Chains A and B, each alone.
Chain A
Amino acid sequence: EAAVTQSPRNKVTVTGGNVTLSCRQTNSHNYMYWYRQDTGHGLRLIHYSYGAGNLQIGDVPDGYKATRTTQEDFFLLLELASPSQTSLYFCASSDGGLGGRSSYEQYFGPGTRLTVL
């Protein structure tokens, strides 16, 4: 069973605060993704990466930075958090279409609920 973990599970910060969300996958997957999920918007892709040191921009990247330090670890950084970034954040991984599996077969973490006051 694929394993993706996220920390923290819940985070409260103030406007202008600095937040780092962490994600680790033990699936040996190449691709990792950060999504946010909001009522009325569904799941939206923020950033993704296809390997250590690589970063690609998703649909809603403004206000977010990301860094992929190893194959296992992918971080999402909010350097000046705003209330509009209050959301449920999910990390996911996939093997990017290798080994016969589709890159759309993604394995998600449990999510981090972020509240920016």
Chain B
Amino acid sequence: LAKTTQPPSMEAYEGQEVNVSCSHTNIATSEYIYWYRQVPHQGPQFIIQGYKDYVVNEVASLFISADRKLSTLSLPWVSLRDAAVYYCIVTDKGTQVVGQLTFGRGTRLQVYA
């Protein structure tokens, strides 16, 4: 599994756009990028996944560099409810243990009113 590196913390005000970066310099061609977040006292929540280029859903956008060594999760118009720890996970869909998620330390996003 590729190792990921994220900033430990970020701060933003409500209404701002937040970009959370994740470096995965050893990503293999078979690996995909997943983002989850976890609000205190709740279970992790799946946000978005991607392989290359650009992916968007109703919650966030995911930009993946051309060499796939860097991905950026973009959250438009953050609110207080977006305060959470954001996890970037890089894993191979074909790994032996189906669907096993390995969370690192993540990025703690603090949102101010």
User: Chain A nearest CB: distance from B107 CB in Å?
Assistant: 14
- Is there contact, CB below 8 Å, between A108 and B98? no
Once bound together, how far apart are the Cα atoms of A102 and B91, in whole Å? 11
A-B contact count (CB 8 A): 72
Number of interface residues of B (CB under 8 A): 21
Where chain B touches its partner, the secondary structure class is: loop
CB-CB contacts below 8 Å: B86-104 with A: 89, 91, 93, 97-104
| The stretch of A11-19, A66-74, A75-83, A88-96 that contacts the partner chain | A88-96
User: Chain B nearest CB: distance from A110 CB in Å?
Assistant: 6
- Is there contact, CB below 8 Å, between B32 and A104? yes
Interface residues on A, range: 20 to 34
Among residues of B, the one whose C-beta sits closest to the C-beta of A57 is B97
- Is there contact, CB below 8 Å, between A103 and B46? no
- Is there contact, CB below 8 Å, between B100 and A31? no
Determine which of A43, A58, A59 lies in contact with B44 in the assembled complex, contact meaning CB atoms within 8 Å: A43
Once bound together, how far apart are the Cα atoms of A102 and B42, in whole Å? 22
A50 interface residue per 8 A CB criterion: yes
Q: Which residues of A contact B (CB under 8 A)?
A: 4, 31, 33, 35, 42-43, 45, 48, 50, 56, 58-59, 90, 92, 94, 96-97, 102-111
